[in-house]
Structures are given as C-alpha cells and as structure tokens.
Structure 1
Amino acid sequence: MDSMPIINDKKPHVVFIPFPAQSHIKCMLKLARLLYHKGLEITFINTEWNHKRLFKYGGFMGLDGLPGFRFKTVPDGLPTSSDDETEPTQSLEELSMHLLTNFADSFLDVVNGLEVPPTCIICDGTMTFTNPYYVAEKLKIPIFLYWTMAACGFMAFYQAKVLFDKGILPLKDESYLTNGYTDKLLEIPGMEKVRLRDLPEHILATKPDDPAFLWHVDSAQRADKVSHMIIHTFDELEAALIKELKSTFPHIYTVGPQQLLLNQITEKETKKPNFNGHSLWKEEPECIQWLQSKEPNSVVYVNFGSLTVMSLHNLVEFGWGLVNSNHNFLWIIRTDLVDGKQAALPQELDELIKSRGFIASWCSQEEVLNHPSVGGFLTHGGWGSVIESLSAGVPMVCWPYSFDQHVNCRQMCKEWEVSMEIESNVKRDEVEKIVRELMVGTEGERMRKNATEFKKKAEIATAANGSSTSNIEELSKEITHLS
C-alpha cells in the first residue's frame, strides 16, 4: 500500500497528521483531496489499524495509487495480524498514550523515508500532544494546525488556557460542579450565551495535575505558537467569532463545508455529488434502499457518531421514545454503542422498531442527510454531523456526549436556532415529545426554515467566489510559496 511513483519535486508537498478517529480522518482527507486538486502533493499519515480499516471498507475512495497522493502509517501499539476479521480492542485512551510516547520518532522515520521532503505539515489541532513540532524543527518546515471542528468548538478548547491564566480553572473543589457555579455565562468575544458547563468536560477539572485538563491547556497554548490555522466552518455561520479569532490569529482559513467544495469538483466530472465518507466502518446500502420507500421529510435519522457510548437504559428509552413518536426512523446502532458491548433491545421494543424503523450499524451519513425523505436528525452534536446536517438543510435534536459537543449544542439551540436539546438523563416521554415537535411542530418548522437558510449560506460560501472557496485558494497559494 505504501509504494508510490516518484513524485514531481517541483510541487509543494503536504504531510497530513489526523487525530486517529473517524470524523477527524474523514475531515482531513477531504481537505487533502481539495489541496491535491489544487496541484499539491499529499502524504497522509494514519495509524496502522485505521489504515487497514480505511482500505477494508473502501474509505480510500480511489485516492490510494494516485500519482502524488500516498498513505503512510505509524504503529498504534496493536499486535500485527493477518486476520482482518478480528477487530483488535484498544481504547482511545490507550491509543493516545501509545502515540504520546512513540509518535514523534515513528513520524520522523516516515518523513525521512519520503522521496521528497515535505513543504509543510498540516496537523490536527488535537494531535499536538504527540509533538510533531520535533519533526518540524528538525526539517525546518512550518506546521499549520487544522481544527476539524467549528470556530466555537476551537474557542471552547482555547478557554482552557484563558481560564487557567485567569485563575478560574482548575475549579477550587468538586462542589463547584453541583452548586450552580458552572451555569454562569462566560465572557467570550464573539460568542454569547455560553456557560462554563458548555466547555469540554475535562476542562472542568478540580485538580491542577489532572492529565486531561493539562492536555487541554497544552493544546491551547500550542495554538499560540503557529502562524496559520485552518477551521472547518464557514464565515457566514460564525461571522462574529471568526472576526474575533482573526484579531488574535491573523492567518485563519475557514474551509467548510468541505463536502460542498468537493461537490463542485465531482459534479463537473460525474454530473452528481459523491458522498463517499472515507469511512472506517462498513456502510450499509440498505439504508438508502429503505429511505426510497418513504415520503419526503417523513424520516428521523438517528446517529450518535463513532465514539459515543451510552447505557442500555438510555438506548431503551431512546427506542421507546422513537417508536411512540409514530414517525419513521433510521437508527444507526454501532456494535459497541452500549458501554462498548453488543446492544440487546427488549423483544417487544425490537418488534415495534421493525414495524416503523430501520436499524443499521453504519451508513453513508451525508447521502442519508441529503435524501428527500429525511426530515430531522437526532444527533450527539459532533461537528462533522452538525455541519453535514446544516449543509443539507436538516433541523436537529441534540444529545451531547463529550468533547466539543456541548458547546456545539449550545450554539445550535441558542445562537443558530436549528436544534432542540435532550437532557443527558434520557426519558422516553421527552424523546417522544421532542421528536414530534421536530417533525411536525411549529418549533420544528421554524428550525427547518433556519436550517434551510444556513444551507443557502453554505452554498454561497462554497460557490465560485465564496469565502471558503477563496480560503482554499489562499491556503494552497500560501503552501506553494513555501516550496
């Protein structure tokens, strides 16, 4: 898989380092495709097992083998095996600890083995803990940080540094988590209505030596040390916040929604968009076949992403709520969604689901969201899902799980008014009520109109002279000037 033709040494050469998770890899591969289309050479670094999964489930989408677009791997600490049917077990924490210790040296070995030295590194903003700066300094090349999240998501992460410098974090003791203190509104330039508890939960530590808290602070501090940042959003969605960020970080490129930018290319070549999602999971085409039989705007799409884990209780409550709403639904239930184990629904509920819903383990999400039968999206609020839903003009119900999802949910509900929120302790009656409101209620209709407006703005941003289109052009020129 790693053998490639000798590349043209006159072209700029970008090395991509994604965080080893589905949404991050997908997002960075799309940016890599856009820059490749601009004439840049690409080397994309995956961990070994993610590389195998991407190949196994067709996520390469024909990129592997293209002249000047190559995939390389670094070890992930898992034993090598020829048995592709066996999924090795490794938590995100275990993988991160391995990369913390071993990534920099492995990465340097990969880069030293390339035929032509890279012009620059585009590193996932959440991968700086692996110290890619070590390699960049040795090669004397710059690093661009790519935040595969919204501007509000980046700013929420950045508050770890801001509030640490102000002495607000870490919290004095655990009572601050339950006494209403975290309900206080934060003063964040360009963002309103955001509370302390909307920040990533690991920021709200009560001990100064908390490893997750220190990781957030370190990641935010490293953002100050780079000259260029890329964010997967578009100016028309987060105008005030992006304006504020540019006053602190002068070289910011907003490059979303990337799928709409790619559609500009694929529609010229094939007359239709290509929604292949660079998936690490096996996508089930039966999902689309099932949707074909449903009326427009009649289906609730339910997907909590690739990392969310919930209790069996919450899964069952979601199930009963969906069934009792009397709306059709397409529900993605990963094999490890329930506390990392196989989900087992009660027989009565399972039979009712089969009469109104369709359950699959994974799907081509953007193809589903753009299907005319889909009228609403019950999501965890991961940024990839949110921007894909906005691009399709689909309103949402959000049940945030972790990371940037809480601040995304806050902005979706209070700032953009395209979503409603379900509380963390799931209750079937609430799910039933909110799904009905989403699909046929007056609030749902208002959110649908707002989502449709953001879809139009996203299309403007990615049109020929749009803000995101211009930023991709400027980014490619900036990298070219470095070579």
Structure 2
Amino acid sequence: MEHTSISTSPLQANAHVLLLPLPLQGHVAPFMKLGHQLVRHGSKVTFLTTESIRSQIEKVDEEEEHMRIISVPDGLALEDDHKDDNRLVQSFLHVIPGHLENLIRKTNEDELIGIGQITCLIVDVVLSRDPIEIAEKMGLKHAIFFPSAPGVLALILHIPKLIEAGIIDADDGTVEKNEKIQLSPNLPAMDSADFIWKRPGNKSNFNQKDVFQYLLLVNQILKVPNWVLCNWFHELDPSANALLPNIISVGPLPAHDGKSTGNFRSGDLTCLPWLDRQSPGSVIYIAFGSTSKFSQQQFHELAFGLELIGKPFLWAVRSDFIDGISIEYPDGFQDRVKNLGKIVNWAPQEKVLAHPSIACYMTHCGWNSTMESINMGIPMLCWPYFGDQFWNKSCVCYGWKVGLEINPDENRMVTRHEIKRKVDELLSDEGIKANALKLKELAQNNAYEGGSSKNFRDFVAQLML
C-alpha cells in the first residue's frame, strides 16, 4: 500500500508515526483506530504487523491512502499452530527487535518517495521493552499505547507496593492477604481475585508466573517513554492522569468513517437490515469477542436463556466458540427462534451498537467492547472470561453503574434462569439507562470536541517540536 503525502499545516507535515501492536485481535483493532486518528490529525502512519494478520485485515478494511500497512514474519514455522496466542506472542517478542531496527533504518536511509523519515514509534505496552530501546538508540520520539482500562494501569503501577505490603508474593503474584485494594477514589475497590494475572479463563497455556514477571517489567518500562497514550477519556477515572507524568488520554477511539476497523473477520452485514425491522430499543445483542470459549453445556444454557427471554436477539457465534468441539445448538432451537432472533458468525459491532433497535449488550467485557458500548450509550450485561475483563465488569456495574453482572451458580454454570432474570432487571432499570446516556455524552464530547480530541491535536503537534 503506497504511502502518500498529506496536505496539512507545516508543523505537522512531516510527522511519520510507526505503529507496532501485539499481533492479536484485541490489540490490532484499537491500534488501527489510533492510526486513523493520527492520519485525521495530520500524521503519516506506517502500521507494522505480521504477514498472516496483514492478509486478514486487508480483506476487511478498505484501503486508507494515508496509511501503509507493512508486515514481517511472526517467527513461527509453517507447521506451528498460528492460532496458539501464547506461542505467537512469545515468537513475535523474539523476532520483532531485528525486524523493527531494519525497517526503521531502511526507511530513514532510503527516504522512500512519499513516505519520509519515521519520527516517532508508538508501541504496544506488551511489546515495549526492546522497541523503546531501539527507538531511543535511533533518536526517535517514542510512546507506549496502553489499550486497557485505567484501573489496570493503576494495578500494574502498584505492584511493587502490593509486594512491599505483603499482599502478593514477589515471585508469581500469589495472593498472601485476601483483601480489597482501593486503586482509585473514583472506582470500586479491586478484589484480589481480580488481579489480572490471576484470571486465566480456560486458557491451558496461561502461566501466572510468566505474566506476573512480565508485568513487573512493564511497571518499569512505563516510566521510560516520552508519552503513554491511553484508550479512555478523563471522566472515566479523573485520577488516572496522575498515575504517570506523561499520560495522554486519547479515547474513545471512534470507528474510521463509521466502519469497524482492524478486525480479522468480516462482519455479517445482513444483520443490519434485520435490525432495521425491529422496534427501537428491543434487541439484545450477544457477543463475546474473539477469544472467549464456552463449554457445550454452557452454550446450551445461553441458547435456552435467550429462548426463555422471548425478546428479539442478535447473537454473534464464532465457529470456534465451543471449547474444543464444533458447535451444536439444542435440538430444534434454531427452528423455534427463527422469527425471534438472528445468529451470525461475526457482527459489524460498532454499527450494531449504534443501531436504535439495540436495547442492551451481553458482553465478555473486553476493554475495546466496553469502550464501544460506552461510546454508544448501551447498557451492558457483563459475563467476563479472563484477564482484565473481571475488573472491567466491576467498573461497569459498580463504578459507572451502566450494567449488571451475570453470576454463575455453585457449579460455575450461568443458568438460563439467571440470564433471563438479569436481562429483565437490566431492561427495567431506568437509572442504568440514564447513566449510560450520560457516559455516551461525555464520550462523544471527548471524541469530537474537547478533552481527548484536543489531546490528540496537541500530541501530533509535539511530534515535530
């Protein structure tokens, strides 16, 4: 994809930002939005990812003439499982420093026509150690992009204090004192069970010690870059900007021209005319991101729950949604609900959440989905799976009060009756609806008027100082 010059002010004309995300769906998508916003504010952008991911996002995204996407090998052999996220990340961490240095040197020595020299590196916080060192060595400005919630950043920065207080073990983060931790005066206290290294979900390759030790490293790295860009807006946690002296909140990151961007899958657009035929505020939207897995039994309980509710629903069911086996719906379920609901493999989520027929969103509470729901003013039913999603759930339900949590029973099963009970409760709660609309207004003001939008303009201006 050829990179072209941009007509803008002289101050911003030569800003050329290299973006380096972790090669996973939940990281690539916000980085792509970040890239589009940088272009909108006058920067040139090079987006660096793996060869396999480039082929996926180019199938989904329309070409952006002011952004070039380039790719490098991920370091895995052809016979390796490229869907093993842990293995992919470990391999990419190993190979990316060499690729990155070669790319910057080649670009800045050759000064390819229409591209110009790279002036700044923005790197995913998970990848940041070696790339930040390379940027410093090569004289580039550098920033870390933190794509998670403000409370997660606060937790990472508080790890040394938690160790010192004897609350967690210094080796692997094992909880020594089971108590709630108040990380922010504006958000609920964090339960020690929700520490992000303690929430593996069903991921068999999760290693608590490795993740904890890496977070200790990130704690130090966060103090190095010129800036830390964060995907939230100030009002979500007014105390967050005091965590580090160089924090810039740039959220919410809006969809590019109203379209979802950075997705590895194409959204099924047939759901949009179906939504058009539904009454305003009547549809339950159900989607659990790109990695959540259900057992067959839990999948059936969810299906029976939707049938029991008896309201229109749009359900995104990935082909790999059932853990280890192919999807099987309850006998006769699809025939019984064919006039009630619509099931798709992947939805164009931001278009769906913006649709007037949507009443609420049943979600895994990934931060991207949480921000998208907040940005559209949609109340949430929270069903977290792993990592930071449990903390995001607490913020949604008990901090901002724009959703309700769905609770498993003593057998760790979310029953159909719990699903119906919580949907009915959410749809009748006028306070939650009002809170969601207030947050939407704040989000929109940040995206298009002041706050984060101004931060973006100031950041791009600083790139050329």
TM-score computed with the length of structure 1 as normaliser: 0.85
Equivalent residue, structure 1, for 2:137: 138
The alpha carbon displacement at 1:298 in A equals: 0.6
Q: Which amino acid aligns with 1:15?
A: L
Distance in 2 between the 1:456 and 1:155 partners? 25
In the aligned structure 2, how far is the partner of 1:348 from the partner of 1:24?
A: 38
Q: Tell me the distance in 2 between the aligned counterparts of 1:108 and 1:334.
A: 37
Partner of 1:270: none
Residue of structure 2 in register with 1:99 after alignment: 92
| Aligned amino acid, residue 124 of structure 1 | D
2:16 matched residue in structure 1: 13
Q: How does 1:306-455 map to 2 (within 5 A)?
A: 306-424=290-408, 425=412, 426-439=414-427, 441=428, 443=429, 445-455=430-440
Provide, for residues 308-356 of structure 1, a one-character-per-residue CA deviation record: whole Å limited to 9, x for no partner.
Answer: 1221222111111111011111011111111154321222333334342
Residues 203 and 213 in structure 1, CA contact (< 8 A), matched pair in contact too: no
Counterpart for residue 203 of structure 2: none
Moved more, 150-159 or 425-434: 150-159
Q: Any idea what the Cα deviations from partners look like across 1:188-238, whole Å, max 9, x if unmatched?
A: 24343221122214489xxx9921211122122211222311111111222
- 8 Å Cα contact 1:22-1:279 kept in structure 2: yes
The residue identity in structure 1 corresponding to 2:74 is D
Separation in structure 1 between the aligned mates of residue 458 and residue 138 of structure 2, nearest angstrom? 24
Equivalent-residue separation in structure 2 for 1:337 and 1:391 (angstroms): 26
* Corresponding residue number in structure 1 for 2:252: 257
Is it true that 1:222 corresponds to 2:221 in the alignment? Answer: yes
Q: Secondary structure of 2:121's partner?
A: strand
Q: 1:51 to 1:162 in 2, by over 3 A?
A: farther
Q: Which residue of 1 aligns with 2:125?
A: 125
**Number of residues of Structure 1 aligned to a counterpart in Structure 2:** 443
Q: Which shifted more, 219-228 or 411-420?
A: 219-228
Q: Report the 3-state secondary structure (helix = DSSP H, G, I; strand = E; otherwise coil) of the residue aligned with 1:76.
A: coil
How many Å separate the matches in 2 of 1:279 and 1:231? 20
- The match for 1:271 is none
SS in 2 for 1:194: coil
Label 1:394 to 1:5 Cα distance change in 2 as closer, same or farther (>3 A): closer
CA-to-partner distance for each residue in 1:361-397, whole Å, 9 max, x for gaps?
A: 1111010011111000000001111111111111011
Kindly tell me: are residues 185 and 15 of structure 1, through their superposed partners in 2, closer, same or farther at Cα, counting changes over 3 Å? same
1: CA distance, partners of 2:127 / 2:56? 20
Secondary structure of the corresponding residue to residue 265 of structure 2: coil
Q: Aligned partners of 1:418, 1:411: CA distance in 2, in Å?
A: 9
Q: Take 1:37 and 1:447, find their aligned partners in 2: how far apart are those partners?
A: 34
Aligned-CA RMSD value: 2.7
Aligned residues: percent identity? 27
**Aligned position for 1:42:** 45
Report the Cα offset of residue 277 of structure 1: 2.8
In the alignment, structure 1 residue 234 sits paired with structure 2 residue 229: no
Counterpart CA distance in 2 for 1:26 and 1:48 is: 16
Which structure 1 residue ranges, 4+ long, deviate > 3 Å from structure 2?
Answer: 3-10, 77-81, 156-162, 164-167, 171-177, 189-192, 201-204
Give 1:402 deviation, angstroms: 1.4
Deviation at 1:33, TM superposition (A): 1.3
Aligned residue among 168, 172, 194 for 1:198? 194
Q: CA deviation at 1:79?
A: 5.2
Determine the C-alpha separation between the residues in 1 that align with 2:462 and 2:332: 59
Q: Which residue of 2 aligns with 1:62?
A: 63
Is 1:278 aligned to residue 265 of structure 2?
no
CA positional deviation for 1:173: 10
TM-score by length of 2: 0.88
5+ long unaligned stretches in structure 1: 82-86, 267-273
Aligned residue for 2:234, secondary structure, equals coil
2:73 to 61, 72, 75: 75
In structure 2, C-alpha distance between the alignment counterparts of 1:341 and 1:50, rounded to whole Å: 24
User: How far off its partner does 1:253 sit?
Assistant: 1.2
* Aligned equivalents of 1:7, 1:295: Cα separation in 2: 44
Give the conservation status (yes or no) of the 8 Å contact 2:175–2:192: no
**Maintained 8 Å contact 1:236/1:461:** no
- Judged with a 3 Å threshold, the aligned counterparts in structure 2 of structure 1 residues 156 and 399 are, in CA distance, closer, same or farther, namely farther
Give the secondary-structure state (helix, strand or coil) at the position aligned to 1:210. helix
Q: Kindly provide the amino acid, as one letter, of the partner of residue 120 in structure 1.
A: C
User: How far, CA to CA, are the matches of 1:22 and 1:209 in structure 2?
Assistant: 22
SS at match of 1:386: helix
* Residues 348 and 455 (structure 1), Cα distance of their counterparts in 2 relative to 1, 3 Å cut: same
Corresponding position of 2:183: 188
Contact persistence 1:193–1:414 (CA under 8 A) = no
